[in-house]
Amino acid sequence: MRLLLEYKDIPPDLHGGVIVLGNFDGVHRGHQSVIGRGQEIADGLGVPLVVVTFEPHPRSHFRPHDPPFRLTPLANKARQIEALGVDALVVLTFDDALSRIEAVDFVRDVLVAGLAARHVVVGMDFRFGRQRGGDAALLEAEGAANRFAVTTIAAVASADAEIYSSSHIRENIMAGKPAQAAAMLGRPFEIEGVVEHGEKRGRELGFPTANIDIGGYVHPALGVYAVRASIGGAPEWLDGVAYFGDRPTVDGKGLLLEVNLFDFDGDLYGQTMRVALIEYLRGDHKFDSLEALKAQIAEDDVTARRILRVRAAGAP
**DSSP bridge pairs for 51:** 20, 89
Other CB atoms within 10 A of residue 151 CB: 19
Query: Residues 142, 190, 258, 279: which is the catalytic one?
Result: 258
The Cα-based distances of 130 to 61, 91, 95, 170 in angstroms read 13, 18, 12, 26
Neighbours of 176 (CB within 10 A): 19
DSSP letter, residue 71: S
Rounded Cα–Cα distance for residues 253 and 134 (Å)? 44
Element (H or E) spanning 228, and its range? strand 223-231
Pick left, alpha or beta for residue 189 (phi over 0 → left; psi -120 to 50 → alpha; otherwise beta): beta
Active site residue 190: no
3-state secondary structure 100-165: CCCHHHHHHHHHHHHCCCCEEEEECCCCECHHHCECHHHHHHHHHHHCCEEEEECCCECCCCCECC
Rounded CA separation 316/38 (Å): 28
Task: Tell me the three state secondary structure of residue 82.
Answer: helix
**At 25, phi and psi to the nearest 5?**
-75, 115
End-to-end CA, the chain: 28
Q: Could you write out the DSSP letters of every residue in 179-207?
A: HHHHHHHTS--EEEEEEE----HHHHTT-
Pair 222, 243: CB distance under 8 Å: no
Name the residues annotated as catalytic: 258
